[in-house]
Structure 1
Amino acid sequence: MKKRVPTFFLNLDRKVYRRFIRLALTPVVLLGVHGLYYLINPGNVLWSACTMQTTGQFTLDLLASFFFSWLIIESSIGIADGLEKYLPWSSSPLLRFLMQVMLTLLASASILLVENQVYTWIYPGKLTPKEELETWQFFVISLLVSLMISTVHTGYFLLTRWKNTLEEAAELKVRAMELNEVALQAELQSLKLQLNPHFLFNNFSVLSELILEDTAKASRFLDKLSKVYRYMIQNLKQDLVPLKDELIFVKAYQYLIQIRHGEQVYIQFEIDNGLLSKWIPPITLQLLIENAIKHNRATRTEPLTIYISQVENHLRVSNNLQPLPNPLPSTGLGLGNINNRYKILSCEMPKVGADETLFWVDLPVFDYPQYDPQDG
């Protein structure tokens, strides 16, 4: 089991902590010193002498003991605070420990010597050897208690610093996560913006030809193009879109393909209804279709057939391999864009495969909105 730090002491601010030390530890120290002294030497003449004191003498003795106990506490705390300014624990722990122990003992010894002189003044007379031994015993016990006070104060200080360090580390971690999320979103948006020029370049070139050849067909093509482009603009703001909406978009996009390529390109769909509830990055299928058309020859005798099907829980986009005799240089925009978007959204990446006759890309689909990009 993990050791739990007492949160009561950690939650005390500096001023409250010092006030607590003054009020609570002074009588504790007083009782502790005398209690330890009694346990070591219960037959001390001090205890019998206390019973013979008058009320005034007992009160004066108690106030003096209380005052010197308070001085020991203040000196121990003051030494620790002063050393932290000039010799912090982080710079040299061993030297700091030795200096704090030595200065605490010197300060406490000085206070105890003054206290002894005060008691000599209150109770004049020469001490017997036994009384001198008992006085030294009391002296040593008081020094040990002063070291205990210094240890408690140092422990509180180190625990407070540890707590603050954990809080700062947690804040930095949250801030780093926020900045990372902002950076990922900015990168995702820049990747989405790459789709527009790629799409427009291919279709505006076809539209310009249709305007010269068949204005009626050009008008229908422009109408379909505007609807497809509207879908793209609306959904590029989304990280994921329903697969069923993406398929509707692709089927509408088929009209543009037919105008551009006629019977040279076919698109076939084989998807179970269960997969339609899944989600996918927008415009992914259109990019893969464009990629297949770009890198394969397509004629009436050897048409290019693009299949959009289901393979287990993945969406597969495949086409028959018909490499161009003089292939165009690849910009890597299509597959690169898709891979980069999946890299941001998920730890599961698209899988690309090929054999002698077929090329395919398997796309992971998501259960959105339950899907959490942070979980991959």
Structure 2
Amino acid sequence: MNRLFVHNPWFRLFGPLFSGTLVYLLLLLINDSVLSINEDFLSQELFVCIALAYLSQEFLRLSLLIFGRFDLENRPFLRVVLQLMVSLILTVVLVTGAVYLYFSKVLFYEPNFRELLIFNSIFSFITLLYVVLYFGHYFLYRRNTSKIKREELALNEVDHAFNHYVKGINPSLLFESLEAMLVEMKSNPDRAEELSDRFSEVYRYMLSKRKQEVVTINEEMTVAKHLIRLFNHLPYRKVELENLVKSGFQVLPTTILVLIQNIVRSTIVSEKQKLSIKFDEVGEMLTISYKPEEKLQLSFNQYSIKDLSKSYSYYTEKPISIHMDGTMRIIALPKLNLDERSNN
């Protein structure tokens, strides 16, 4: 779309042939010499007009490329006026010089004012048409680009909202919790009731925070403790949480819950060993560290949190990083400090 047709090699080759021929016919019509076409159509004047058309078109194309390098996006009216004036002045100077050179060197006399006026009027009109076509394409391209950007933003918002919706439902945790409650209800009703309380706390938080942009880390960590107790009822490795976070920065809702779930689900199940997850602050980052013992068919990597990373990219330029430090895997999460929040 941004490739204007005037830069096409075929247009550059054949365009001046037609425009130059049209100029020649107009000159004959103005000079009342149309009948001379039957005698000698391929006259010297025809080739002169075509050559002038080639020369003016290439200079105009060069001016488009030069003006395209200037940053006048915020002042389109200034660009239209300036480019139109420069193009017309350039055309008049170029045509006047070429016609004067042809008349004096080939025809051996100087052109009069009327002849220069005719040549300059015709080629100035062609220049005006050329520039108008360019700006028509230019503004149409800007308008279409703006529409495409708005559509992309709308699509990203829908995608972002859908990801929040999916995270809020979390079908894997839902079915695992319900299955565990069904088993516990037969053998230990009190334990089943405790499991139900943890489950309701976690899901109430997930569903209530879906429309909120950010939450404080303290809110997230409170629900994370309920999630860990819930996981300790499920057939996964028992989890210990070490929380060294002291400041009150913000995170996206369910961020910590998503990370804990990915860590727990990717760790080999063991009744003897526990999984210790440590939360700490390092500058503008929240670090989550643990000793990985991953399942053979399921690992925790950047792809595992691609949706979370995409959500964070709307709010900060700092990415979520995952790296190893000795035997410890460290997840670095950027802190958020937004003034405005969405309503629940």
Question: What TM-score results when the alignment is normalised by the length of structure 2?
Answer: 0.62
Matched residue count? 254
Please report how far the alpha carbon of residue 153 of structure 1 lies from its aligned counterpart in structure 2 after TM superposition: 2.3
Q: Distance in 1 between matches of 2:111 and 2:329?
A: 91
Q: Which residue does the alignment assign to 1:167?
A: 139
Unpaired stretches in structure 2, ≥5 consecutive residues: 1-10, 34-108
Q: How far 1:336 moved relative to its partner?
A: 3.7
Q: Hey, which bits of structure 1, 4+ residues long, moved more than 6 A? A: none
- 1:163-220 C-alpha deviation (Å, 9 max, x unpaired): 2222111111111111211222233334334431233233223222222232233234
Please state if 1:361 is matched with 2:331. yes
Does 2:186 align with 1:212? yes
Deviation at 1:362, TM superposition (A): 0.7
Match of 1:105 in 2: 27
After superposition, the CA RMSD in angstroms is 3.5
Q: Does 1:201 align with 2:183?
A: no
Q: Does 2:206 align with 1:232?
A: yes
| Cα separation, partners in 2 of 1:100 and 1:244, compared to 1, 3 Å | farther
The aligned amino acid for 2:309 is N
Equivalences for 1:90-169 in 2 at 5 Å? Answer: 92-110=14-32, 140-169=112-141
- Cα distance, 1:304 vs. partner? 1.4
Aligned twin of 2:322: 352
- Asked if 1:283 corresponds to 2:205, the answer is no
- How far did 1:293 drift? 1.9
- Structure 1: how far apart are the matches of 2:304 and 2:171? 12
Aligned amino acid, residue 349 of structure 1: P
Q: What residue is the counterpart of 2:286 in the other structure?
A: 315
Question: What is the rounded CA distance, in whole Å, between the counterparts of 2:198 and 2:235 in structure 1?
Answer: 16
Matching residue of 1:178: 150
1:5-54 Cα shifts (integer Å, max 9, x gaps): xxxxxxxxxxxxxxxxxxxxxxxxxxxxxxxxxxxxxxxxxxxxxxxxxx
SS of alignment partner, residue 302 of structure 1: coil
> How high is the sequence identity, in percent, across the aligned residues?
16
Deviation digits for residues 114-161 of structure 1, max 9, x if unmatched? Answer: xxxxxxxxxxxxxxxxxxxxxxx9994223212222233223222222
Q: What pairs up with 1:50-61 in 2 under 5 angstroms?
A: none
Aligned to 2:267: 296
Aligned to 1:267, the other structure's residue is in SS state: strand
Q: How has the CA–CA distance of structure 1 residues 227 and 165 changed in structure 2, closer, same or farther, with 3 Å as cutoff?
A: same
Q: Does 1:339 align with 2:309?
A: yes
Higher helix share: 1
Cα separation, partners in 2 of 1:299 and 1:164, compared to 1, 3 Å: same
1:259 Cα deviation after fit? 4.0
- CA distance, structure 1, for counterparts of residue 28 and residue 194 of structure 2: 98
Q: Cα deviation per residue 1:85-138 (whole Å; 9 max; x = unaligned)?
A: xxxx78833213312321232122129xxxxxxxxxxxxxxxxxxxxxxxxx99
Are 1:305 and 2:227 matched, yes or no? no
2 CA distance for matches of 1:301 and 1:344? 42
Mapped contact 1:288–1:334 kept (Cα < 8 A): no
Question: Structure 2 vs 1, CA of residues 237 and 142 (structure 1 numbering), >3 Å: closer, same or farther?
Answer: same
* Letter of the 2:285 counterpart: H
Comparing 242-251 with 170-179, greater Cα deviation is found at 242-251
Deviation of 1:344 after TM superposition, in Å, equals 5.8
Which residue matches 1:60?
none
| Higher Cα Rg, which structure | 1
Alignment-mate amino acid for residue 270 of structure 1: L
Asked if residue 265 in structure 1 is aligned to residue 236 in structure 2, the reply is no
Conserved 8 A contact 2:160-2:311 = yes
Q: Give the equivalent residue in structure 1 for 2:195.
A: 221
Deviating more after overlay: 340-349 vs 196-205: 340-349
Superposed CA offset, 1:253-277 (max 9, x none): 344244447993211111131xx23
Q: Would the aligned equivalents of 1:265 and 1:305 in 2 still touch at CA under 8 Å?
A: yes
TM-score after normalising by structure 1: 0.57
Is the 2:236–2:264 contact (alpha carbons within 8 Å) kept by the matching residues of 1? no
Partner SS state of residue 222, structure 1: helix
